[in-house]
Structure 1
Amino acid sequence: MTSRTAPAAASGTWTLGDHTVHRIGFGAMRLTGNAAFHLGDPSDRSRSIAVLRRAVELGVNHIDTAAFYFSRLRSANELINSALAPYPDDLLLSTKVGPARDASGEWVASARPDQLRGQVEENLRQLGRDHLDLVNLRVMSQPSVSEHFGALAELRDAGLVRHLGLSNARPQHLDEARAIAPVVCVQNRYGLDARDDGELLRTCGELGIAFVPFFSIAGAGREAGTAADEHDAVLAVARARGASPAQVRLAWTLHQGPHVLAIPGTGNPDHLVDNLAAGELRLTDAEIDSLNAIGNG
């Protein structure tokens, strides 16, 4: 299949666990409404399902989700199940455990190590799977991840989980986790406006571990979405290349290394096509230099 029919393929590939995935995937958080989590109005169900199906048609084979991605009336996992099951053989579903929300959507105490099995089983139930391809431990306030990651390693040994990763991690967390079980990816906030994790990004590349940035498009907007004000340097490159600012941000993200995987999320079918087209945008050295000059936000 060519990049013309599967634009996600133009971004290149990376071996994530036992799957070869395109370097532009899809983040499911925004499927549930017009703002993250329980904020805003519920999404249109049929439109969200159409976006998921279109993403796979366009070559997306890495979708990031979590059981705690839900809003009033909508659950990202349920939407994925309804849209895509039975799942394509080449599709990798990654999920996260650790944080917890009650039925009203309010955040509650994060899971103890002995509660992680319940969170894994909830993801299995919602997705309609008998195993999870990849589970990321979302690091909360705990100084050490050894007990939590050890509990997930036991679930991996039991066959409920194939591969493990970390989210919101620090270098010491990666060291602790690798001493317990293989780590195939690190999901951290990273982008033009947030480059504090550059050392961890480079470490992952040296170790052959995928680095998966979140909020790489949103910038300072984070959960609320793309910020209203865009940097002049991003706008200048976008105008010169006939691209959108989101495409420029994604192209810069992918430029950071062959092990860097982007997971932009949207509930808008036009934004989906725009995001995936970023895989074909190759920035020049001068453009990269101008973007690198943007200070951390």
Structure 2
Amino acid sequence: MTSTPPSPHTTATGALRAGGSALLAERTVSRVGYGAMQLERLHSDREDALTLLRRAVELGIDHIDTAQFYGNGLVNELIREAIRPQDGVTIVSKVGATPDPGGPFPMRPAQRPEELRAGVEDNLASLGLEQIPLVNLRRMDGVVRIPLAADQVIDLDDQLAEMTALREEGKIGAIGLSTVTLDILRRALPAGIACVQNAYSLVAREDEDLLELCAAENIAWVPYFPLGSAFPGMPKVTDEPTVKETAHALGATPSQVGLAWLLHHAPNVLVIPGTASAEHLEANVAAGAIELDEATLAKLDAIPPQSFQAVQG
């Protein structure tokens, strides 16, 4: 008996895609995905973590973003255990850093080509996959940086050559970029880029030019820190009075309004909010169904973007 391929509106399990659908690495996925980094918080509650991942699938999420350095492999192991092949979930990972639990940051740069290859191999092993559909190269060019030693300052061309080789070998399906500048993205386009992940939100729109280029090139824009961040110098969407007023008028939360704005802002935007709470997961998925009319969008668009200095993290 053969299974029926999912429609553009439903996942392989038959659930309506959370937030609608969009293309990511030539795959149709839910526009509301799940960023798995916060699963590390459930390290002592493994069953709760597995239940949360299963709940994400039930809610129509078929796009999960992870990395081997999340929880030093723990998060990938949880995904491997919870997500079944028949769920049709597109797993996205990243390389360019490794775990550093005893250091000043939870990860350290791993930018050399051989480290990128080792990162892909580690992800394949912990996820139990023969191919990772999309792997983002986490550079250190944007506003969220990790201090770099001299041997970690690597030319983009050398990195892309290794990523391209991994794609040709079938170990990865597509190449993405994370934490990059407009110049880096332009230089990388000939290699075939499927995704860009930069810090971006309603109140932090310094990368609008990158988003516009991605839209023109049919590249998915998957922002991290979609609601801002607790990092010093980075604004928070939920602090904005207009966002709070909009949420009250819609019977929603400020966080939901911030996510909904991203989905309305451009058709190539996908969101991957993370949480360790089933309640917050359901609220994030519900944000994908919020309609913002032109007047509301105009009010939100009028919120002055706030610039911030480079954040180390």
Q: Aligned partners of 1:154, 1:194: CA distance in 2, in Å?
A: 35
Amino acid at match of 1:87: P
Amino acid at match of 1:80: I
Q: Which residue of 1 aligns with 2:156?
A: 145
Q: Which residue of 1 aligns with 2:169?
A: 158
Q: Which residue of 2 aligns with 1:272?
A: 281
Alignment of 1:211-250 (within 5 A): 211-217=221-227, 219-221=228-230, 230-250=239-259
Out of 64, 89, 92, the position equivalent to 1:91 is: 89
1:176–1:207 CA distance, 2 compared to 1 (3 A): same
1:229–1:116 CA distance, 2 compared to 1 (3 A): closer
Alignment of 1:50-65 (within 5 A): 50-65=51-66
Asked if 2 retains the 8 angstrom alpha-carbon contact of 1:63 and 1:93, the reply is: yes
Asked if 2 retains the 8 angstrom alpha-carbon contact of 1:6 and 1:57, the reply is: no
Q: Which residue of 1 aligns with 2:149?
A: none
Deviations 1:206-251 (A, max 9, x none): 111111111113x13259x996962111110111000111110010
Asked if 2 retains the 8 angstrom alpha-carbon contact of 1:93 and 1:134, the reply is: yes
Q: Aligned partners of 2:251, 2:235: CA distance in 1, in Å?
A: 19
Alignment of 1:1-297 (within 5 A): 9=17, 11-33=19-41, 42=43, 44-70=45-71, 75-84=74-83, 86-88=84-86, 90-102=88-100, 104=102, 106-141=106-141, 142=153, 144-179=155-190, 181-217=191-227, 219-221=228-230, 230-297=239-306
SS at match of 1:286: helix
1:282–1:137 CA distance, 2 compared to 1 (3 A): same
Q: Which residue of 2 aligns with 1:39?
A: none
Select between 133-142 and 92-101 the one with higher mean Cα deviation.
Answer: 133-142
Displacement of 1:182 in angstroms is 1.1
Asked if 2 retains the 8 angstrom alpha-carbon contact of 1:66 and 1:123, the reply is: yes
Q: Which residue of 1 aligns with 2:311?
A: none
Asked if 2 retains the 8 angstrom alpha-carbon contact of 1:215 and 1:222, the reply is: no
Amino acid at match of 2:79: I
Amino acid at match of 1:48: A
Asked if 2 retains the 8 angstrom alpha-carbon contact of 1:163 and 1:183, the reply is: yes
Matched length: 283
Aligned-CA RMSD value: 2.6
Displacement of 1:6 in angstroms is 7.5
- Gaps of at least 5 residues in structure 2 are 1-6, 142-152, 307-313
1:292–1:226 CA distance, 2 compared to 1 (3 A): closer
Asked if 1 retains the 8 angstrom alpha-carbon contact of 2:237 and 2:243, the reply is: no
Q: Aligned partners of 1:6, 1:273: CA distance in 2, in Å?
A: 18
Displacement of 1:101 in angstroms is 2.3
Q: Aligned partners of 1:118, 1:48: CA distance in 2, in Å?
A: 27
SS at match of 1:33: helix
1:175–1:229 CA distance, 2 compared to 1 (3 A): closer
Amino acid at match of 1:254: L
Asked if 2 retains the 8 angstrom alpha-carbon contact of 1:8 and 1:279, the reply is: no
SS at match of 2:252: coil
Q: Aligned partners of 2:154, 2:295: CA distance in 1, in Å?
A: 41
SS at match of 1:76: helix
Amino acid at match of 1:119: G
1:52–1:10 CA distance, 2 compared to 1 (3 A): closer
Deviations 1:48-84 (A, max 9, x none): 111110001111011000001116xx72111111111
1:251–1:231 CA distance, 2 compared to 1 (3 A): same
Select between 128-137 and 13-22 the one with higher mean Cα deviation.
Answer: 13-22
Asked if 1 retains the 8 angstrom alpha-carbon contact of 2:201 and 2:237, the reply is: no
SS at match of 1:165: strand
Displacement of 1:10 in angstroms is 5.3
- Gaps of at least 5 residues in structure 1 are 35-41
Q: Aligned partners of 1:61, 1:51: CA distance in 2, in Å?
A: 13
Deviations 1:70-117 (A, max 9, x none): 16xx72111111111x32352110001001223646533423112211
1:227–1:16 CA distance, 2 compared to 1 (3 A): closer
Q: Percent sequence identity over matched residues?
A: 41
Q: Aligned partners of 2:300, 2:293: CA distance in 1, in Å?
A: 11
Deviations 1:248-279 (A, max 9, x none): 00100001111100111111000001000111
